[in-house]
Amino acid sequence: MDRNTEARGGPLGIYAKTDSAHLTVDQNTGEITAGLPVDPRLFRCERFALKSVVNRLLPTSRTSKCMRWRVPNQSLQVLKSKEHNKAFFTGLQICASVWACPVCAAKISERRRAELTTALALAKARGWDVFMLTLTVPHGLGDDLPALLKQIHTAWRSTTTSRAGQKLRKLLGIRGTIRALEVTHGQNGFHPHLHVLLFLDQGFSPESVHHAFSPLWQQACVRAGLPCPSDEHGCRVDDGTYAAAYASKWGLESELTKSHTKKGRNGSRTPWDFLRAVLDKSEGWQQSAILFRTYADAFKGKRQLYWSNGLRDLLAMGEQASDEEIAAVQEDSSLMLAELTDEQWRAILLTKSESIVLDMAETHPDALPALLASILERAKKLATGTG
């Protein structure tokens, strides 16, 4: 197969615009939730659709080759897990980018979420409390995103490693932390922020933890060259119920793995929303394309979840797998439903039929040969301008 083969045709190919979903409003938070039918195949289709946008926006990146270029000297097959009944391709290169690749991000976030849920259960069994610490900084349209990320990282390190931070760690009996880096974009530009699960001894209220952490975070931000966060918005501490809810849904919206996406009351958007705007050619889609490139460049190579040293050992959870290791995991017990030729794979890419092939493999595997034949025919028509 020509490794540089690119799908031609219109910008959207056979991918439809993202569905207009039913909207509901949380009266307490003002959050708008777009509900979609709970069918994993729909979200897989959207992941491939958004991935096609990334291929165009980042044409020289590793992500643009992910799930498109074959692994040398390996056969390209369609397999189906015996345990989960999910179909997947094998023999393709993967990028393992949680930031830029909707396909890899979904798989990685599923594993990370399971780990978070397990960690909270083990902490509860040990009699610990787990609080959710949310840390933000003032930001504006003119901020340099890479510099802002570096300053936030510096501020966190100062918060935890300073003399005052070490004293607080002992005072609260903090056993460890799991820190997640997240980002949205709104009227004031990019808004990177931290969510931190605090594992600590029992006996403290969220209010007392906030009272202790907030001034440390404020001082650390100023030392890092950031504006001083306010008491109201800079540091928030929620109890174990909120922490458990966060862990159970971690990555659901941003990684496209469940039935809804969120939009904040101030119109904030996630990076995947940038891709949706480009896919739909909605108002301002050109600016969304620029914003996604800026975001992808700034976050490239950064870790999304950080476990503090020693926490996994305390919870007896073993060594943490890398994003690359998780993305490369293949079901041990699976059925081989089809071995694809170079011509068939080129046709699948040209017609953007990846999710359709997997859907058929899961629901009507006996019809795969007929589907592949029809895809080949459609590809020939597209190539000759008759389709």
User: Which pLDDT tens digit goes with each residue over 328-354?
Assistant: 887 668 999 999 999 999 999 999 999
The percent of residues in the chain predicted with pLDDT above 70, rounded, is: 85
Pair of tokens at residue 373: 């034949």
Inter-residue long-range contacts of 165-170, CB under 8 Å, 24+ positions, other chains counted: 165/216, 168/212, 168/213, 168/216
Which of 16-20, 98-102, 105-109, 184-188: highest mean pLDDT? 98-102
Q: What is the mean pLDDT of residues 20-27?
A: 41
Residue 309: pLDDT over 80: yes
Q: What is the mean pLDDT of residues 276-296?
A: 96
pLDDT band, residue 31 (cuts 50/70/90) = very low
Q: What is the pLDDT of residue 387?
A: 66
pLDDT band, residue 122 (cuts 50/70/90) = very high
Q: What is the pLDDT of residue 330?
A: 78
Rg of the chain taking only CA atoms, in angstroms: 23
- Picking from 306, 266, 302, the residue whose alpha carbon sits closest to that of residue 149 is 302
DSSP code for 38: -
Q: Average the pLDDT over each of 32-41, 82-91, 218-227, 255-264 and give the range with the smallest value.
A: 255-264
Each residue of 189-239: pLDDT tens digit?
A: 999 999 999 999 988 999 999 999 999 999 999 999 999 999 888 999 998
Q: Strand, coil or helix: what is 3?
A: coil
pLDDT band, residue 248 (cuts 50/70/90) = confident
Q: What is the mean pLDDT of residues 142-149?
A: 89
Cα 169 off chain centre by: 30
Separation of alpha carbons 79 and 88, rounded Å: 5
Q: What is the pLDDT of residue 267?
A: 73
Q: Average the pLDDT over each of 3-12, 46-55, 164-173, 273-282 and give the range with the smallest value.
A: 3-12
Q: Any residues with CB less than 8 A from the CB of 167 and at least 6 apart, and which?
A: none
Separation of alpha carbons 23 and 27, rounded Å: 13
Please report the domains of the chain, with CATH numbers, ordered by start residue.
Answer: 107-269+301-317 (3.40.1310)
The percent of residues in the chain predicted with pLDDT above 90, rounded, is: 71
Residue 30: pLDDT over 50: no
Q: What is the pLDDT of residue 67?
A: 97
Mean pLDDT of the chain: 86
DSSP code for 258: S
297 or 261: whose pLDDT is higher?
297
Q: What is the pLDDT of residue 54?
A: 98
pTM across the whole model = 0.85
Give the DSSP letter string of 80-104: EETTT--EEEESB-----TTT-HHH
What is the number of other CB atoms lying within 10 angstroms of the CB of residue 156?
22
Point out which residues pair with 193 in neighbouring strands: 182
